[in-house]
Amino acid sequence: MHDDRSLVESRLKRVLEERIRPAVHPESVPLQVSVWTAPDEPVPVAEGLAAPRTPIAVGQRWGAPWGTSWFTVAGTVPSTWAGRTVEALLDLGFDENMPGFQCEGLVYRPDGSPVKGLNPRNQWVRIAAPAAGGEQVLLHVEAASNPVILDYHPFLPTALGDKATAGSRPQYRLARMDLAVFDETVWQLVQDLEVLGELMAELPVDGARRWEILRAVERALDAIDLQDVNATAAGARSRLTEVLAAPAVPSAHRISAVGHAHIDSAWLWPLRETVRKVARTTANMTALLEDEAEFVYTMSQAQQYAWIKEHRPEVYAKVKQAVAEGRFVPAGGMWVESDTNMPGSEAMARQFVHGKRFFLEEFGIENEEAWLPDTFGFAAGLPQIIKAAGAKWLLTQKISWSQVNTFPHHTFWWEGIDGTRIFTHFPPIDTYNCSMNGKEIAHAARNFKDKGRARHSLAPTGWGDGGGGTTREMVAKAARLRNLEGSATVRWETPAEFFAKAQAEYPNPPVWAGELYLELHRATLTSQAKTKQGNRASENLLREAELWSATAAVQAGVPYPYQELDRIWKTVLLHQFHDILPGSSIAWVHREAEHSYAAVAEELTGIIATAQHALAGEGTSEIVFNAAPHRRAGIPAGGARPAPPAAGGCTVQPRPGGGFLLANDLLRVEVDERGLVVSVHDLAAERETVAPGAAANLLQLHPDFPNMWDAWDVDQFYRNTVTDLTAVDAITVTAAGPESAAVQVTRSFGESRVTQTLTLTAGAKRLDLDTEVDWHETEKFLKAAFPLDLHTDRYAAETQFGHLHRPTHTNTSWEAAKFEACNHRFVHLAEPGWGVALVTSSTYGHDLTRTVRPADQGTTTTVRVSLLRAPRFPDPHTDQGTHRFRHALVPGADIAAAVSEGHYINLPERRVAGSAEVVPLVALDHQAVVVSAVKLADDQSGDVIVRLYEAHGGRATARLRTSFPLAGALACDLLERPLDQHPAMAEDTVELRLRPFQLVTLRLARG
């Protein structure tokens, strides 16, 4: 029996490939083809349609990298085809790879209306069904000759990732351009045989159902005349009717399929190409919705809708109509499918504000789910952000990529740092590009970890990453799997329909508390340092621009820049997409990101300056503005005062044995002859910070060649080899007091050079570290190590609206897998009564290890910040050039100091000539309550919006006082809509009682 089965399976494979599939289009005639190549960037549709054409023949090469060619195909339907279905088969030179990673096209009618997209799995255009014969065919194809960047084995450095370096050699050879008869009976037979063959392969070898299918397939193959497939296809199908009609067992796993095309807003293509990818895919999907009554399609990322609205309004009109019909479903409610580890608190909130508002304003749709299938792990602060945006569900599948530990649930409550829980689903199909293949469907049913308690899962169905979407073949397979014995059942449903069913059947699933850490792609916390610095700088500037503009509007009558800030926020949010901010895109993307961030910085700096000059008034005194949420040096949070007198007390002197001693009234720092920090002494606590015999701010260089995914991954074996950078070119004093004491250390290594300035400032209990690296290494990883004389089993790392604790040990594989982790502005380590914070202005990746010193000398806990990498794929010149980093080591810090110092380094004081003191719009009387945003309401009502949170992880009772007459206060969601909560008021004061890490948005009406 085994040999018999193998023979039938082999026979099925060959007959399908060599005889039946070719018979789907049994007759064809060539089309006439002509072409015009755009000289540079893509042109408007009208220009492409009107441009002069030159004849081109099948087999000729076309398409320089990143070019655009406009093809015109023309022909006549033969009169002998009357009564038959006719399609155009347009093959631009596709290979067998997934759609979206090579050339693509969008087909237009002569009037400029879009028809559908072209890709390797979607090469047909319906001409007539049935044809009358004699129809004139004229179609235009906007073809993008995007180069093939990704060839999974191996990842090879390539110059194709930037138009500036890609060259002009044609990439593709024009293939089939025909009119053809479409035989639907044969096509349906293909779907029958594929579904049964794939199901058969997944069933138990000795099971009756497998043998029933095998014998039916054998009978169908016997019924086919291999010399006349078209005439015998109907008879072959009839042999399969019985096995296709056998219903699924009542206990079968239930799959909610939703049409899907995950489209990376940038990755191996630039942003401008994603605009066209979205147009191609959505044109395909709206066409498929017209043909398939049960099909439902979903697309996330409000930015992508906005793109086609602006650039392809004719496509957007079809999308909007399909959305109104309830079959094209906007999902997720975010501006883009962003990274969630690195975006700051406000940025993460604004992803939902701008995404949900777009869907509400454009479609009247309120999203209740977050949709992040491909994001590289999920920060522990995200659940309350999702809830505060008015959503309650989350979908992702990326955690299935983890390399070490298998996540124990597919449906569960995810609990964030404040206790908020979000009903979460990981599709057990383990892909967001389901093709309805029998292997995928069987895997979903077998893999589902909640059997016996639940039986529903979701399958995002369609080609993705580079777009493409669902195909008619996938829809046909789903129809056969709707109720088929031996298989999970499949039905097209919206995300909301799935989640409602899943939650109803499983109201008390298990709980997972804390971050959803992806045990992969850890290096995305470091790659492309300038992109990450641009993001952090933009977030900080936006905070300042909103704060000072709101203050100037209320106190000085300066018009609030609503439109400018809205536009800039959307630019920053776009660049937080999960292949831009993580540094995993081609060179073109990061080159453009650097330019975008520079433009954002220039515009926001101008907005800030306008507001501050209006507030400071006339005069020549130096007015100091403090945008941080805590008072510093006598300047109130969110306010401004004349500059206080300069403090003194800093000294610097030579150190015995070489190096220098730096001191102020709070710290004494020893920098040895190597330029390394060998002591940071907390004078008040009489406590040493640096571990005995160790040196802090030690730069360490590792080889960095991961097994795969160069820009994405750092594998644990990188630690096996390390070079300590201790050789020094020069060490000099650059400030000798009394306001500050500083030394500058210069080192050379490899082809690179680093200059560090170590500074103590009068009155400040921190050592500031300014590092400039001229980086020209390849496949190296640069870190800065701080070995601390601390024993603790956990440490705190800042995340959105709070911080989370991670263990310092590796008791289990779960802890060991977190050998590179994310922080925002600080990490904090403490023993009872004394701790240390390491704060940063722009880096995210870090690692932490703990060692026991010999002879009972205690424990060394070493925290290392990740500075630079040098992967060669997809950008062969990643991070080459000059970079500047700012960090500070804060001895004796409790969590309150970590929070405030983290803000100080990110929001430095601004000094403006003037004469006026600026009273803060709002002031809080509790250090633990941190303001993350002060702005005017988006509805332009003039109300003041204040977003705040408890930052220390404890309870807080606080009073918020306004400097303007307060007419009313409402608690709101992130979209500034009132909630059923009314905080207590007394005169111009709002009384607040906050739980640990609780996030609150207040809408304050001015009297």
Catalytic residues, by residue number, are 374
User: Can you tell me the distance from the alpha carbon of 940 to that of 935, in angstroms, rounded to the nearest whole number?
Assistant: 11
User: Strand 698-703 to strand 723-724: parallel, antiparallel, or no bridges (unpaired)?
Assistant: antiparallel
Angle between helices 562-574 and 587-616 in degrees, nearest 10: 150
User: Can you tell me the distance from the alpha carbon of 912 to that of 624, in angstroms, rounded to the nearest whole number?
Assistant: 7
Within 10 Å of residue 531's Cβ, how many Cβ atoms?
22
DSSP letters spanning 739-800: SEEEEEEEEEETTEEEEEEEEEETT--SEEEEEEEEE--SSEEEEEEEEES---SEEEEEET
Q: Give me 789's structure tokens.
A: 């004389």
One-letter-per-residue 3-state SS of 936-963: ECCCCCCCEEEEEEECCCCCEEEEEEEC
Backbone angles phi, psi at 585, to 5 degrees: -105, 170
User: Can you tell me the distance from the alpha carbon of 819 to that of 906, in angstroms, rounded to the nearest whole number?
Assistant: 26
Q: In 3-state terms, what secondary structure has residue 492? A: strand
Q: How many angstroms separate the first and last alpha carbons of the chain?
A: 87
How far is residue 201 from each of residues 62, 363, 438, 497, measured CA to CA in Å? Answer: 41, 44, 8, 31
Alpha-carbon 972 to chain mean position: 27
CA angle 203, 439, 291 (to 5 degrees): 115
User: Whose structure tokens read 């590796």?
Assistant: 810
User: Can you tell me the distance from the alpha carbon of 768 to that of 160, in angstroms, rounded to the nearest whole number?
Assistant: 41
User: Can you tell me the distance from the alpha carbon of 1007 to that of 990, in angstroms, rounded to the nearest whole number?
Assistant: 14
User: Can you tell me the distance from the alpha carbon of 375 to that of 262, in angstroms, rounded to the nearest whole number?
Assistant: 11
User: Whose structure tokens read 């991670």?
Assistant: 806
Q: In 3-state terms, what secondary structure has residue 78? A: coil
User: Can you tell me the distance from the alpha carbon of 70 to that of 44, in angstroms, rounded to the nearest whole number?
Assistant: 11
Q: In 3-state terms, what secondary structure has residue 870? A: coil
User: Can you tell me the distance from the alpha carbon of 29 to that of 78, in angstroms, rounded to the nearest whole number?
Assistant: 8
The DSSP H or E segment spanning 49 is: helix 45-50
User: Can you tell me the distance from the alpha carbon of 883 to that of 867, in angstroms, rounded to the nearest whole number?
Assistant: 9
By CB atoms closer than 10 A (0-12, 13-18, 19+), residue 66 is buried
Q: Which residues contact 949 (CB under 8 A, 6 or more apart)?
A: 345, 801, 802, 929, 930, 932, 994, 997, 998, 999, 1000
Q: Give me 824's structure tokens.
A: 């925002």
CA angle 356, 360, 364 (to 5 degrees): 145
Q: What is the length of the chain?
A: 1007
DSSP letters spanning 871-912: --SS-TTTT-EEEEEEEEEEET--HHHHHHHHHHHHS--EEE
**Among candidate residues 838, 712, 831, the one with its CA nearest the CA of residue 783:** 838
The DSSP H or E segment spanning 310 is: helix 302-311
Query: Where are the alpha helices (H) located in 517-662, listed in sequence order?
Result: 529-556, 562-574, 587-616
The one-letter amino acid code at 411 reads: T
